[in-house]
Structure 1
Amino acid sequence: MKTESPQHLGKIPETMLITLWAKAEERNYKQPFLTDTKAQEIISQIDYDFSKFKKSKFSQAGVCLRASLFDKETSSFLAQHPDAIVIQLGAGLDARYERLGCPSVTHWYDLDLPEAINLRKKFFQENEQHSFIPLSLFDTQWIETVKAHQKPILILIEGVLMYFDRNDVKTFFKTLCKELDEATILFDMLAYSLVGHAKNHDSLGSMQKEQRPEFKWSELNSLNLEEWNNKIHIEKEYFMSDYERGRYPFIFRILYKIPYFYKRFNQRVIRLRIA
């Protein structure tokens, strides 16, 4: 029975429903990028027209591929730092903590705007090692919370930064550099060609114009971030078309062989170190 309505969500928080749908849909593939039984459970309870995304095959694959790369990198970090502090900014309804087997870290925080956390609490339970923070990622209170543990810090930012202006993103990273001595950050970089073109995106384009957020930020060269502060170091960069296993549309698989297209039309997952 569909008992929960997300009608109160703002533009950016509503995008969590796209990623929720994408992960639930992944069950239909013989070799899925990930298995997310929580997404399947949640989607059956939310009163929302998910059918409008049914033609969004490209972004459905992209969401799950991106999440699988985040999962892989998170698992690797926790293998090296089992006592870590993990904070997921813009967590929405993501079940990464559950997908990774509820790891016994020092603490795992999921942060999002209050309206998103209110919905999240309908489906997820907090415990002694896992709690929710109802704040904007630009509210520096969360930085003090993670610093207080004095443990290795992993910051996850998936499907979020693309909706903010370059100056806001730059200020955000500078703040992290100022407030944190060390941290590892995983985030995704929007395909450079999509900035200003959310209406052409196969899933966002299906949202009502007045409710659709715009894509505002990407960098053609990820190393540009190292110019923002000398504590920023790009450690790893995944160009997602290298990992798509034939799931992307055929024409795009051909076009990605062209260096110009590969660089400008590829989404990336980046591991960044502050030190």
Structure 2
Amino acid sequence: MTSPRTNPRSHPRPKVHLTEEKETLLATLYGRALDSRAKRPILGDTLAADTMQRLDYDFSRMRLSPGNAAAVALRARQLDVWTAGFLARHEEATVVHLGCGLDSRVHRLAPGPGVRWFDVDYPEVIALRRQLYPERAGYTTVPSSVTDPAWVAQIPPDRPTVVVAEGLLMYLTEEDGTALLRRLMDRVPSGELAFDAFSRFAIRVQWLNPVVVKAGARLHWGTDTAGVAALSPELEIVESISALEVPGIEKLSAGGRLAARMSAKLPAVRDMARMYRCRF
């Protein structure tokens, strides 16, 4: 696939002025970029590396380790797999990507002509996206806080819809997060939710999360399988995977694989971050 980029020499490098939870989107971009340069990439998102080079920002201050980059890539790949699977089953569908940041998922998956895709994030994040990524048919950017109810009226109410949220829900309060997901489920006739979530224990020890601490952000919502199931009586959890057991983890270094196996033996640690695919 041809890289959907403009010539970086013909445009000034956009300066980045993001703070708190907004700044954490740069860490995930950096993680995908580092993975793309690895000897055995997991996600292989070369557009992430290209985008990173086109920004006026010192990414080295984030100090992401190869293990952190691999974790970012594994999470993104699993959500790609779930989203692509939904689109393979529904050629006329909608994708709602919540808190899209600078993720190039729509370009990685290159959905067909029957798909409507909505990327939703804060106005300043969408403004930055528009400087970096090209327009494409069926693709709409929505400059809004995800918790503002008004933007949901843009989502077609008559198509199966997959809602994707990566590294987002833990930054919302439980009240805002549950209201958001229920609002979207009520808007469309059927679909799926694909997202990652932190446990309550992970929220309590968030001071151990270097990306969150560095950005001066704060995590709020911790949940578990029972909490996810309680979102709606019509919601069915199809898959629930610990971040330490996600498919592809065998691609980590020997040390990374050993650390993941040892950590997964401790239930509280194993369940700190989980990925969910739910049907409604």
Q: Quick check: 49-58 or 153-162, which moved more?
A: 49-58
Equivalent residue for 2:16? 6
Please point out which of 214, 220, 233 is paired with 1:216.
Answer: 220
Aligned mates of 2:71, 2:112 — CA distance in 1: 25
1:145 counterpart = 2:154:
yes
The residue correspondences of 1:35-184 to structure 2 (distance < 5 A) are 35-148=44-157, 150-184=158-192
- Residue ranges of structure 1 left out of the alignment (5+ in a row): none
1:256 counterpart = 2:264:
yes
Count of aligned positions: 265
| Residue identity opposite 2:218 in structure 1 | E
Equivalent residue for 1:235? 238
SS of 1:121's equivalent in the other structure is helix
The residue correspondences of 1:14-53 to structure 2 (distance < 5 A) are 14-53=23-62
SS of 1:188's equivalent in the other structure is strand
> Is the Cα–Cα contact under 8 Å of residues 36 and 42 in structure 2 kept in the other structure?
no
Aligned mates of 2:106, 2:93 — CA distance in 1: 13
CA deviation after TM superposition for structure 1 residue 147, in Å: 2.8
> Is the Cα–Cα contact under 8 Å of residues 177 and 231 in structure 1 kept in the other structure?
no
Kindly report the root-mean-square deviation, in angstroms, between the aligned alpha carbons of the 2 structures: 2.1
SS of 1:224's equivalent in the other structure is helix
Aligned mates of 2:184, 2:227 — CA distance in 1: 17
Aligned mates of 1:41, 1:158 — CA distance in 2: 21
Aligned mates of 2:114, 2:44 — CA distance in 1: 22
CA deviation after TM superposition for structure 1 residue 199, in Å: 3.0
Q: Quick check: 111-120 or 124-133, which moved more?
A: 124-133
SS of 1:203's equivalent in the other structure is helix
Aligned mates of 1:101, 1:227 — CA distance in 2: 33
| Residue identity opposite 2:181 in structure 1 | F
Aligned mates of 1:142, 1:223 — CA distance in 2: 29
| Residue identity opposite 2:172 in structure 1 | F
CA 1:213–1:249 in 2, change beyond 3 Å: closer, same or farther?
farther
Equivalent residue for 2:6? none
Q: Quick check: 254-263 or 228-237, which moved more?
A: 254-263
Aligned mates of 1:102, 1:26 — CA distance in 2: 23
Identity %, equivalent residues? 27
CA offset digits 1:109-147 (Å, max 9, x no partner): 111110000000011122331121111111223322223
Equivalent residue for 2:207? 199
CA deviation after TM superposition for structure 1 residue 176, in Å: 3.1
Equivalent residue for 1:271? 277
| Residue identity opposite 2:197 in structure 1 | M
| Residue identity opposite 1:108 in structure 2 | W
Equivalent residue for 1:226? 229
Q: Quick check: 103-112 or 82-91, which moved more?
A: 103-112
Per the normalisation by structure 2, the TM-score is 0.86
SS of 1:111's equivalent in the other structure is strand
CA 1:167–1:55 in 2, change beyond 3 Å: closer, same or farther?
same
SS of 2:269's equivalent in the other structure is helix
Aligned mates of 1:226, 1:117 — CA distance in 2: 31
Aligned mates of 1:54, 1:249 — CA distance in 2: 21
> Is the Cα–Cα contact under 8 Å of residues 238 and 270 in structure 1 kept in the other structure?
yes
Aligned mates of 1:81, 1:179 — CA distance in 2: 18
CA offset digits 1:6-47 (Å, max 9, x no partner): 11x232221110011000000232332211121111111111
